Amino acid sequence: MHYKEVFFADQKFSIFPNGELYWQNKKTLIISDLHFEKGSFFSETRQFIPPFDTIETLRQLTKFINDHPVDIIIFLGDLVHDKLAFQRMTEEAKELFFAILKNKNCTLTVGNHDDTSFLRHIGLNLTKNIVIDDICFSHYPTIDKKFSIFGHYHPKVRLKINSRGIWTSCFVLNHERLLIPSYGYFTGGLSIKNLEIQKLFEPEYEIYPLTKEKVYKLANKK
Protein backbone atom coordinates (compact mmCIF):
# COMPACT_ATOMS: atom_id res chain seq x y z
CA MET A 1 0.00 0.00 0.00
CA HIS A 2 1.28 3.37 -1.01
CA TYR A 3 1.84 5.98 1.70
CA LYS A 4 3.76 9.17 2.39
CA GLU A 5 5.83 10.04 5.45
CA VAL A 6 5.51 13.35 7.22
CA PHE A 7 7.32 14.81 10.21
CA PHE A 8 5.18 16.54 12.78
CA ALA A 9 6.35 17.60 16.24
CA ASP A 10 9.61 15.77 15.52
CA GLN A 11 7.74 12.53 15.12
CA LYS A 12 7.45 10.44 12.00
CA PHE A 13 3.90 9.71 10.80
CA SER A 14 2.64 7.96 7.67
CA ILE A 15 -0.33 9.14 5.64
CA PHE A 16 -2.35 6.46 3.81
CA PRO A 17 -4.68 6.97 0.83
CA ASN A 18 -7.87 6.06 2.72
CA GLY A 19 -7.23 8.74 5.31
CA GLU A 20 -5.35 6.79 8.01
CA LEU A 21 -2.63 8.55 9.99
CA TYR A 22 -0.23 5.92 11.26
CA TRP A 23 2.31 6.51 14.03
CA GLN A 24 4.56 3.51 13.59
CA ASN A 25 6.83 4.10 16.62
CA LYS A 26 3.84 3.95 18.92
CA LYS A 27 1.90 1.36 16.90
CA THR A 28 -0.88 3.88 16.93
CA LEU A 29 -3.53 4.52 14.29
CA ILE A 30 -5.36 7.84 14.20
CA ILE A 31 -8.58 8.27 12.23
CA SER A 32 -11.36 10.79 12.39
CA ASP A 33 -15.02 11.45 11.66
CA LEU A 34 -16.27 7.95 10.84
CA HIS A 35 -19.90 9.05 11.10
CA PHE A 36 -21.31 5.53 11.47
CA GLU A 37 -24.79 5.15 9.95
CA LYS A 38 -24.87 8.49 8.22
CA GLY A 39 -26.61 6.74 5.31
CA SER A 40 -29.42 5.27 7.39
CA PHE A 41 -29.81 8.50 9.37
CA PHE A 42 -31.71 9.98 6.47
CA SER A 43 -34.37 7.28 6.55
CA GLU A 44 -36.02 9.53 9.11
CA THR A 45 -36.64 12.03 6.33
CA ARG A 46 -37.74 9.09 4.15
CA GLN A 47 -34.62 9.13 2.02
CA PHE A 48 -33.57 5.53 1.78
CA ILE A 49 -29.84 5.89 1.15
CA PRO A 50 -28.16 2.46 0.79
CA PRO A 51 -27.38 1.43 4.37
CA PHE A 52 -23.93 0.02 3.60
CA ASP A 53 -21.65 2.87 4.56
CA THR A 54 -20.76 1.64 8.05
CA ILE A 55 -19.80 -1.82 6.88
CA GLU A 56 -17.64 -0.31 4.13
CA THR A 57 -15.84 1.90 6.64
CA LEU A 58 -15.33 -0.96 9.08
CA ARG A 59 -14.03 -3.37 6.48
CA GLN A 60 -11.50 -0.78 5.42
CA LEU A 61 -10.43 -0.25 9.02
CA THR A 62 -10.21 -3.96 9.74
CA LYS A 63 -8.05 -4.47 6.69
CA PHE A 64 -5.68 -1.74 7.82
CA ILE A 65 -5.18 -3.12 11.30
CA ASN A 66 -4.67 -6.60 9.90
CA ASP A 67 -2.00 -5.33 7.54
CA HIS A 68 -0.13 -3.12 10.02
CA PRO A 69 0.97 -3.52 13.63
CA VAL A 70 -1.57 -1.51 15.60
CA ASP A 71 -2.04 -1.55 19.39
CA ILE A 72 -3.75 1.75 19.89
CA ILE A 73 -6.52 3.42 17.90
CA ILE A 74 -7.47 7.03 18.46
CA PHE A 75 -10.81 8.07 16.98
CA LEU A 76 -10.75 11.84 16.71
CA GLY A 77 -14.46 12.34 17.30
CA ASP A 78 -17.73 11.98 15.39
CA LEU A 79 -17.53 8.21 15.49
CA VAL A 80 -21.29 8.02 15.00
CA HIS A 81 -23.55 10.25 13.00
CA ASP A 82 -26.30 10.41 15.63
CA LYS A 83 -27.20 8.88 18.95
CA LEU A 84 -29.31 6.10 17.49
CA ALA A 85 -26.60 4.94 15.11
CA PHE A 86 -25.87 1.72 17.00
CA GLN A 87 -29.53 0.75 16.97
CA ARG A 88 -29.57 0.89 13.21
CA MET A 89 -26.24 -0.81 12.67
CA THR A 90 -26.30 -4.31 11.20
CA GLU A 91 -25.14 -7.33 13.19
CA GLU A 92 -22.20 -7.79 10.87
CA ALA A 93 -21.06 -4.21 11.38
CA LYS A 94 -21.48 -4.44 15.13
CA GLU A 95 -19.46 -7.66 15.23
CA LEU A 96 -16.62 -6.09 13.28
CA PHE A 97 -16.59 -3.01 15.43
CA PHE A 98 -16.80 -4.79 18.78
CA ALA A 99 -13.98 -7.12 17.73
CA ILE A 100 -11.81 -4.07 17.15
CA LEU A 101 -12.79 -2.59 20.52
CA LYS A 102 -11.96 -5.88 22.23
CA ASN A 103 -8.57 -6.38 20.65
CA LYS A 104 -7.19 -2.86 20.55
CA ASN A 105 -6.82 -0.04 23.00
CA CYS A 106 -9.40 2.38 21.63
CA THR A 107 -9.86 6.01 22.59
CA LEU A 108 -12.51 8.40 21.37
CA THR A 109 -11.94 12.12 21.72
CA VAL A 110 -15.58 13.09 21.83
CA GLY A 111 -16.97 15.10 18.92
CA ASN A 112 -20.14 17.07 18.38
CA HIS A 113 -22.03 14.09 16.91
CA ASP A 114 -21.03 11.64 19.66
CA ASP A 115 -23.60 10.78 22.30
CA THR A 116 -21.64 9.60 25.32
CA SER A 117 -24.55 8.04 27.20
CA PHE A 118 -24.28 4.94 25.06
CA LEU A 119 -20.67 5.10 23.89
CA ARG A 120 -19.29 4.99 27.46
CA HIS A 121 -20.53 1.44 27.93
CA ILE A 122 -18.89 -0.29 25.02
CA GLY A 123 -15.22 -0.40 26.01
CA LEU A 124 -14.09 2.87 24.53
CA ASN A 125 -11.98 5.33 26.48
CA LEU A 126 -13.86 8.59 26.25
CA THR A 127 -12.05 11.86 26.70
CA LYS A 128 -12.09 15.41 25.47
CA ASN A 129 -8.48 15.19 24.44
CA ILE A 130 -5.43 13.03 24.92
CA VAL A 131 -1.82 14.22 25.02
CA ILE A 132 1.04 11.97 23.91
CA ASP A 133 4.59 13.32 23.62
CA ASP A 134 3.48 16.97 23.58
CA ILE A 135 0.90 16.29 20.88
CA CYS A 136 -2.70 16.95 21.76
CA PHE A 137 -5.28 14.76 19.99
CA SER A 138 -8.84 16.07 19.92
CA HIS A 139 -11.92 16.55 17.74
CA TYR A 140 -11.53 20.33 17.52
CA PRO A 141 -8.18 22.07 17.18
CA THR A 142 -6.62 22.76 20.57
CA ILE A 143 -5.39 26.33 20.67
CA ASP A 144 -3.49 26.36 23.95
CA LYS A 145 -1.24 23.34 23.27
CA LYS A 146 1.84 23.49 21.11
CA PHE A 147 0.97 20.61 18.79
CA SER A 148 -2.57 19.70 17.84
CA ILE A 149 -3.88 16.84 15.72
CA PHE A 150 -7.62 17.12 15.04
CA GLY A 151 -10.51 16.36 12.70
CA HIS A 152 -14.03 17.84 12.56
CA TYR A 153 -13.68 19.79 9.30
CA HIS A 154 -13.59 16.95 6.72
CA PRO A 155 -11.06 18.87 4.61
CA LYS A 156 -11.09 18.53 0.85
CA VAL A 157 -9.22 20.33 -1.86
CA ARG A 158 -9.97 21.12 -5.46
CA LEU A 159 -7.15 20.41 -7.85
CA LYS A 160 -7.09 21.77 -11.33
CA ILE A 161 -5.49 19.18 -13.52
CA ASN A 162 -5.45 19.15 -17.25
CA SER A 163 -8.00 21.97 -17.37
CA ARG A 164 -10.63 20.22 -15.28
CA GLY A 165 -11.14 20.25 -11.57
CA ILE A 166 -11.33 17.26 -9.24
CA TRP A 167 -12.16 17.25 -5.54
CA THR A 168 -10.22 15.01 -3.20
CA SER A 169 -10.13 14.78 0.56
CA CYS A 170 -6.77 15.70 2.10
CA PHE A 171 -4.57 16.12 5.13
CA VAL A 172 -3.50 19.68 5.96
CA LEU A 173 -0.55 20.52 8.15
CA ASN A 174 1.84 23.21 9.29
CA HIS A 175 4.37 23.19 12.14
CA GLU A 176 1.79 23.20 14.91
CA ARG A 177 -1.38 21.68 13.50
CA LEU A 178 -2.38 18.59 11.60
CA LEU A 179 -5.91 18.23 10.24
CA ILE A 180 -7.18 14.74 9.40
CA PRO A 181 -9.84 14.04 6.74
CA SER A 182 -13.03 12.15 7.41
CA TYR A 183 -12.75 8.35 7.33
CA GLY A 184 -16.48 7.72 6.82
CA TYR A 185 -17.81 6.52 3.51
CA PHE A 186 -20.63 8.99 2.83
CA THR A 187 -19.20 12.03 4.54
CA GLY A 188 -19.04 15.24 2.58
CA GLY A 189 -16.33 17.83 3.01
CA LEU A 190 -15.33 21.42 3.52
CA SER A 191 -12.97 23.14 1.12
CA ILE A 192 -9.64 24.02 2.66
CA LYS A 193 -10.13 27.42 1.07
CA ASN A 194 -12.87 28.00 3.61
CA LEU A 195 -11.98 30.72 6.11
CA GLU A 196 -12.54 28.38 9.09
CA ILE A 197 -9.70 26.19 7.89
CA GLN A 198 -7.59 28.97 6.43
CA LYS A 199 -7.35 30.88 9.69
CA LEU A 200 -5.97 27.77 11.39
CA PHE A 201 -3.20 27.21 8.86
CA GLU A 202 -2.23 30.50 7.24
CA PRO A 203 0.22 31.52 5.97
CA GLU A 204 2.26 28.44 5.15
CA TYR A 205 1.06 24.85 5.07
CA GLU A 206 1.23 21.58 3.20
CA ILE A 207 -1.63 19.66 1.68
CA TYR A 208 -1.71 15.92 1.12
CA PRO A 209 -4.48 15.13 -1.36
CA LEU A 210 -5.69 11.53 -1.43
CA THR A 211 -6.84 9.51 -4.41
CA LYS A 212 -8.00 5.90 -4.37
CA GLU A 213 -4.50 4.45 -4.50
CA LYS A 214 -2.10 7.24 -3.71
CA VAL A 215 -1.15 10.13 -1.49
CA TYR A 216 0.25 13.32 -3.00
CA LYS A 217 1.95 16.32 -1.56
CA LEU A 218 1.37 19.95 -2.43
CA ALA A 219 2.80 22.98 -0.71
CA ASN A 220 0.72 26.10 -0.37
CA LYS A 221 2.03 28.79 -2.70
CA LYS A 222 2.19 32.05 -0.75
Partner 1 sequence: MKYKDNPIDKWLKKKGWFLYDHQVEVFNLISQGYDVILHAPTGGGKTIGGFMPSINDFINNKYESNVFHTLYISPLKALTVDVQRNLLNPINDLNLNIKVETRTSDTSAYNKSKQVKKPPNFLMTTPESFALLMARTDITELFKNLKFVIIDELHTFFDSKRGHLLSLNLARLRSIKPFQTIGLSATLKDTDLAKKYLSNNEDTKLVSTYSRVSPKITILKSDNRIPWSGHSPRYALSDIYLEVIKFKSSILFVNTRAQAEILFESLWAINNKNKKIAIHHGSLEKDLRKKVEREIVEGHIECVVATSSLDLGLDWGNIDLVMQIGAPKGVARLIQRIGRANHTINTPSRAILVPTNCFEFVECIAAKECIKLNLLEDEQYSEGSLDVLAQHIVGVAISKKFKKEELYEQVKKAWPYRNLNEEDFEKTLSFVENGGYSLQGYEEYSRLKRDGEYFKIKDKSLITKYRMNVGAIVEAEMLRLRVSNRYLGNIEEWFINGLSAGDTFIFAGKRLMFEKVVGNIAYAKITALDHQKIPSFKGGNLPLSTHLSKSVRKIFSKQLDGIDLPDSLKKWSKLQSKFSSFPNENELLVETFKRKTGKQEKYYMALHPFEGRNTHQTLGFLILRRIKKLGIQPFGFVANDYSILFSFSQEIEDIGFLFSQDILIEDLYEWLEETPLIKRLFREIAIISGLIYKNLPGNQKTGKQVTFNTDLIYEVLRKHDPHHILLKITTENAKKDLIDLDRLSNFLFRIKNKIKINRLNRASALAFSLLFEYHKETPDKNELDNFYLEKLEKELLEEVNAL
What residues make contact with partner 1 under the rule CB under 8 A? 40, 43-53, 55-56, 90, 158-166, 185-186, 188, 209, 211-214, 216-219, 221
Nearest approach, Cβ of residue 141 and partner 1 (Å): 25
Nearer to partner 1 by Cβ, of 47 and 103: the residue is: 47
Would you call 63 helix, strand, or coil by DSSP?
helix
Nearer to partner 1 by Cβ, of 23 and 185: the residue is: 185
Nearest approach, Cβ of residue 196 and partner 1 (Å): 15
Q: Which one-letter DSSP state was computed for residue 217?
A: -
Give me the residues paired with residue 161 across strands: 164
Nearest approach, Cβ of residue 80 and partner 1 (Å): 18
Q: How many residues does the chain have?
A: 222
Nearer to partner 1 by Cβ, of 27 and 216: the residue is: 216
Q: Which one-letter DSSP state was computed for residue 57?
A: H
Residue of 17, 27, 4, 2 lying closest to 206 (CA atoms): 4
Nearer to partner 1 by Cβ, of 69 and 165: the residue is: 165
Nearest approach, Cβ of residue 91 and partner 1 (Å): 9
DSSP string, 135-199: EEEESSPPSSSSEEEE-SS-EEEEEEETTEEEEEEEEEE-SSEEEPPB-SSS---EETTSHHHHH
Nearest approach, Cβ of residue 219 and partner 1 (Å): 5
Nearer to partner 1 by Cβ, of 171 and 185: the residue is: 185
